[in-house]
């Protein structure tokens, strides 16, 4: 059986997205159109969101598989974390929604992507966004500090999804939530298919079966987990057995909640449920 180490996966994924960022930079300099064959799923048309506020320099390097911004329903003042922020498209869209009283952090492991994102930020003059280099399995982010975690076509690339969800849970405030677009499967890829590093880095064979994906989220502590096929959003898949023998790959909308702490619950109860007790004083 062919086995691939996590380090090989990180190297392959980093090399691919570094190459895409560098090629895109050259294309912009030469005023050529995006995208090349490797980035042939460049996805600005994936969004229900209005993208006209952003320049082609940002929307042209959209490598996602969905629209986490619409899914997240962000509000002014929130702190948002984008896992695998790439050229920054979702960070800039999130920054518009949370406003100057909010804050957005993008984390990415690939230096060329971070450089591109920071260059875009300087051009846009946006001050409520920052980009940090790091791994989504070991986030450079404080405990209990984030209202909403978003991500677009990144978690499937990780060789350790359990660590990604553990870290995501750690950094969310109690009551915080995730709104993620990601590639998942119904049915599992074979070990041979998983060993195809080019397909893994291309957001295909790293994708996890929905049941395994949901199990990793539950292990981390998430509740109210929902997984829906982007093409069939009315059908809930989180609770259904998936293993169909071969893997059906699709783009999913994934949401979940970090439960509020019991003191938060007590705070919510305070105004109503505690009133009769106060009346008896």
Give the footprint of ligand SAM on this chain (CB under 6 A): 13, 17, 62-64, 84-87, 89-90, 108-110, 113, 135-137, 152-154, 157-158, 203
Comparing CB distances to ligand SAM, the nearer of 51 and 203 is 203
Comparing CB distances to ligand SAM, the nearer of 153 and 217 is 153
Output the smallest distance, CB 153 to ligand SAM, in A: 4
Comparing CB distances to ligand SAM, the nearer of 47 and 222 is 47
Comparing CB distances to ligand SAM, the nearer of 102 and 206 is 206
Rounded CA-CA distance 214/86 in Å is 25
User: What is the torsional sign of CA 204, 247, 183, 169?
Assistant: negative
Output the smallest distance, CB 237 to ligand SAM, in A: 22
Output the smallest distance, CB 6 to ligand SAM, in A: 9
Omega before 28 within 30 of 0, i.e. cis: no
Comparing CB distances to ligand SAM, the nearer of 135 and 222 is 135
Output the smallest distance, CB 271 to ligand SAM, in A: 40
Output the smallest distance, CB 73 to ligand SAM, in A: 18
Of residues 205, 149, 277, 210, the one with CA closest to residue 2: 205
Output the smallest distance, CB 62 to ligand SAM, in A: 5
Comparing CB distances to ligand SAM, the nearer of 90 and 209 is 90
Rounded CA-CA distance 133/116 in Å is 12
Residue nearest to ligand SAM (CB): 86
């Amino acid at each position: 059986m062919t086995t691939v180490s996590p380090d090989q996966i990180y190297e392959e994924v980093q090399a691919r997205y570094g190459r895409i960022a560098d090629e895109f930079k050259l294309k912009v300099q030469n005023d050529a159109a995006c995208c090349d064959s490797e980035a042939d799923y460049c996805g600005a048309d994936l969004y229900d969101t209005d993208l006209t506020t952003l320049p082609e320099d940002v929307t042209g390097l959209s490598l996602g598989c969905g629209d986490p911004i619409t899914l997240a329903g962000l509000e002014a003042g929130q702190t948002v974390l984008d896992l695998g922020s790439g050229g920054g498209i979702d960070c800039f869209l999130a920054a518009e929604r949370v406003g100057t009283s909010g804050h957005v952090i993008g984390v990415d492991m690939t230096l060329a992507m971070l450089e591109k994102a920071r260059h875009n930020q300087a051009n846009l003059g946006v001050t409520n966004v920052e980009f940090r280099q790091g791994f989504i399995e070991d986030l450079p982010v404080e405990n209990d500090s984030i209202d909403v975690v978003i991500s677009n076509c990144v978690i499937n690339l990780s060789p350790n999804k359990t660590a990604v969800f553990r870290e995501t849970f750690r950094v969310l405030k109690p009551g915080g939530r995730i709104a993620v677009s990601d590639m998942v499967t119904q049915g599992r890829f074979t070990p041979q298919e998983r060993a195809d590093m080019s397909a893994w880095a291309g957001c295909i064979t790293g994708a996890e079966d929905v049941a395994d994906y949901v199990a990793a989220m539950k292990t981390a502590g998430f509740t109210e987990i929902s997984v829906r096929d982007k093409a069939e959003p009315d059908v809930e898949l989180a609770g259904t057995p998936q293993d169909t023998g071969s893997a059906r790959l699709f783009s999913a909308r994934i949401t979940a909640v970090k439960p509020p702490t019991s003191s938060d619950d007590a705070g919510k109860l305070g105004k109503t449920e505690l009133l009769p007790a106060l009346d008896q004083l």
